[in-house]
Every structure is written in structure tokens, then in C-alpha cells.
Amino acid sequence: MDDDLSFSELLKDISLSVCSDIEIFNDPFVFINKLFSASDIIILDIKMPKMDGVEILRRLAIKKCQAKIILISGFDSSVLHSSSMLANELGLNVVAQVTKPVQAKQIQAIIRDINTEEKGVLKPIKANSSITKYALFSKKDILYAINNDQLILYYQPQIELKTKKLAGLEALVRWNHPEYGIIYPNDFIPLIAKYQLFEELTNKVIRIAIDQEKALKGYGYTIVISINISSCNVTSLTLPETLEELIDNAELEPSMLCFEVTESELMGELIPSMDTLTRMRIKGFKLSIDDFGTGYSSLLQLYRIPFHELKIDQSFIKNLMTSPESKIIVDICITLSHNLGMIVVAEGIEDQATLEELTRMGCDIGQGYHLCKPMDIASILCWIQKKSAEGLIIAVQANSK
């Protein structure tokens, strides 16, 4: 769909080698009245005089269009990026963004990839991680899971980029359901929130993490474990004391635990959270601000709450190599953290190029599938032993007590 007749003819010629059935639309009103199926590919120009591309996207969304959409524009990449985010939020399926001038090879490669994926050769269809699938779980079911050892922790390594030292492990909860298998946090944490069970969940997660940290120490590894907590937890004023008691009983140091709070969650109850978080820091626990860049925290908050670490949101890391805007944001996060005396972590590193670029940019710590996927405690222990034997990471040996 492009108002420019000669450009759309050109696109048709380019696409003919990878796609046989091509229809050109130059009038947006004709285009939006057409029905598209999930196997169709739409190439849409964002800038058109009669009806702009964003308006067309909105109308396609109303019609619940499932076609794969390639957005094209002569604007700079930020307009394309915003339009693409908007479209995805409206439930459309934008698969690629291309800036003009268009290169024939690029368009052909995108269409070829879509067709291969369609045949199931490239990737399996992503599992539908929708909460509605599990909405049938009652509060009783979740409490039963918490109290009957159905919650397990997976761990994902965090690596110091300059030295390849193992800087820590992030504990990520999973529900090992007897009938449904492993259920991921995005599918059940909303229910924990709905039933107000954060205290029970966090207590359980902290206890498992401390036990497993002690076990790792038994194997000779002193490793900081990061635990995700919710803002509901930090409004509990007794949390610092509870934690202190648990860590004392396990004969571990508070500095071996780091608590991650997501930036977006810090908005609400700021005063009680500041109280709890500050006392946790005073007691020697580490604090991290997670998914930074997605919430709306003011810079003042960064300075008021004694975070020792900032984790840049994955969305910026994923687009680091393709979006100049993401790179600028990552760069600012690195400078901001360093100037405020914080360590900066990049999560969601999925390839070598991103890893190298982040190292070059001065990011301290990396985490992501390219380095290691989250694994259960037994597998992570094997991974640490294997990688340290190969000299690929340096795992800190425990100080003998």
C-alpha cells in the first residue's frame, strides 16, 4: 500500500522473485476495505497524503488484521519505530521496518524469512503466554503450590564484561505444576498480585535462594544471588529484620543477596519503600533497580534510594544494534549509573555483536540467552564448573570460614 504508483510497481518487481501473488493498492480507502488473512504480507508506507500509515494501522487493528506487516518510510527511523510499537500495542503483527531508499535484497530477505518461518522451518510458533490460560487457578491453588514445594528457582548468570568474572546469579521463579509442567512468572505473577500473595511468594523465594546459596558455597562458590521483589514487599517495614535473621541463620553475608525492584513498581508507595529499602542497604544487602527505562521514575528517586545497581530494560538491549535511539538511551544509562556510583547491568543479550558493543560502551555486567539461559540449580552448578574449567568465566571461590 503506497500512494506512489511507480514506487509500488518497483516494490512489486523486487518482491516477485520471492512471492508470486502480489496486489498493489494506491488508494487507502480501497485498501482498508479489503480483508487480509494471517498468511498475507502487507508492505505499508507510513507517509501518505490521503490517509497516513498510522491511521491505516489503527483501522487494520479494528478489523483484527493478522497479516504480517512490513512498515516502510522515508522518515527517520524513530518515526518508524514509534509506528511499529504502536501497531504492536494495537495487536498487529509488525515483522519489519524499512527506511527508504529501499534495497531490493533487504525486502527479498524479509519476505523470504517470513515465508520460511511460516513453513515452521525457522522457529516454532511462540507459546501463547497469556494469563487467561491459567486464570482458572484459585488463591487456594497458588497457596498450595507455595506451601508444597511446587515453586522452584531457575538461575541466570550475570557476567562482568571486562573480566569474564561471574558477578552473580539472578533467581527467577517457576511454578513446576504437576499437571501443566513449568509455568513461567509472567503467567502466574499477575495472579499473585490479584490474590495479594506477594509476601508468601517472596518469603518462599528468599528461603529457597538462601538454601541454594549455602549449597553453592559448599561446592566452593561464593556467588551473589539477585532476587526479584515486588513493591508490596518493600512496603512491609519488617522485611529488613526478617532478612537479616534468615541470612544470619544461614551463616551468609548480607552482601551475598541483591534485591531487584522494577522501576515501574517504585511509583506508588514511595515513602514506606524508601524506608525499607534504605534500611536493607544499611544492613548490607544490595539493591538493584530493574527494567530501567520502562517506568517513569524521576532522577530524584535514583538519587534518594540507595541502589547499588541499575539494570537497563531488555527492550533497549534487543534493539541496540539496529536502533540508534536505543543505543543513545543505553549510553545515557551507562553514564548516569557510573556518575551516580552505580554498577550497570544489561539484560537480554542475545548475540555476540551486542555483547561486544556493550563491552565497548563500558557496560559493567551482562546477562542474556547468548551468555546462558536460566537453568535449575543442578544445571547451573554444572555450567559454572564447566565454564570455569574451560577458563571462560571466573567463579569466585568461597573464603573458608
In this chain, which of 205, 224, 225, 289 binds ligand C2E, going by CB under 6 A? Answer: 205
Tell whether residue 157 is a contact of ligand C2E (CB under 6 A). no
Question: What x-and-dash track marks residues 36-75 binding ligand C2E by CB under 6 A?
Answer: ----------------------------------------
Partner whose footprint covers residue 350, from Mg ion, ligand C2E, none (CB < 5 to 8 Å by kind): ligand C2E
Partner whose footprint covers residue 172, from Mg ion, ligand C2E, none (CB < 5 to 8 Å by kind): ligand C2E
Sign of the torsion angle spanned by Cα atoms 53, 58, 60, 64: positive
Q: In terms of CB distance, is 32 or 311 closer to ligand C2E? A: 311
CA angle, 17 then 75 then 36, to 5°: 50
In this chain, which of 187, 260, 265, 309 binds Mg ion, going by CB under 5 A? Answer: 260
Tell whether residue 7 is a contact of ligand C2E (CB under 6 A). no
CA atoms of 67 and 130, how far apart (whole Å): 21
| Residues in binding contact with ligand C2E, number by CB under 6 A | 24
| Residues in binding contact with Mg ion, number by CB under 5 A | 4
CA atoms of 241 and 165, how far apart (whole Å): 31
Partner whose footprint covers residue 156, from ligand C2E, Mg ion, none (CB < 5 to 8 Å by kind): ligand C2E
Residues in CB range of 167: below 8 A, 6 or more apart:
158, 159, 160, 224, 364, 365
The backbone torsions φ and ψ at residue 166, rounded to the nearest 5 degrees and listed phi first, read -75, 110
Tell whether residue 349 is a contact of ligand C2E (CB under 6 A). yes
Q: In terms of CB distance, is 41 or 239 closer to Mg ion? A: 239
CB count, 10 Å around CB of 118?
13
In this chain, which of 84, 228, 301, 337 binds Mg ion, going by CB under 5 A? Answer: 228
The backbone torsions φ and ψ at residue 325, rounded to the nearest 5 degrees and listed phi first, read -65, -45
Tell whether residue 263 is a contact of Mg ion (CB under 5 A). no
CA dist 20 → 13, 14, 40, 125, 232 (Å): 10, 11, 12, 24, 56
Question: What x-and-dash track marks residues 84-123 binding ligand C2E by CB under 6 A?
Answer: ----------------------------------------
Tell whether residue 196 is a contact of ligand C2E (CB under 6 A). no
Question: What x-and-dash track marks residues 210-239 binding ligand C2E by CB under 6 A?
Answer: ------------------xxx---------
Least separation in angstroms between residue 309's CB and ligand C2E is 12
Q: In terms of CB distance, is 73 or 228 closer to Mg ion? A: 228
Pairing status of strand 151-160 against strand 181-183: unpaired
The grid cell for 377 is 540449580
The burial class, CB within 10 Å (0-12 / 13-18 / 19+), for 338 is middle
CA atoms of 248 and 243, how far apart (whole Å): 8
CA dist 221 → 55, 64, 247, 288, 373 (Å): 56, 52, 17, 22, 19
Q: In terms of CB distance, is 2 or 313 closer to ligand C2E? A: 313
Q: In terms of CB distance, is 33 or 242 closer to ligand C2E? A: 242
Beta bridge partners of 243: none
Tell whether residue 184 is a contact of ligand C2E (CB under 6 A). yes
Positions touching ligand C2E (CB under 6 A) are: 156, 172-173, 184-186, 189, 201, 205, 228-230, 260, 262, 290-291, 347-350, 367-369, 374
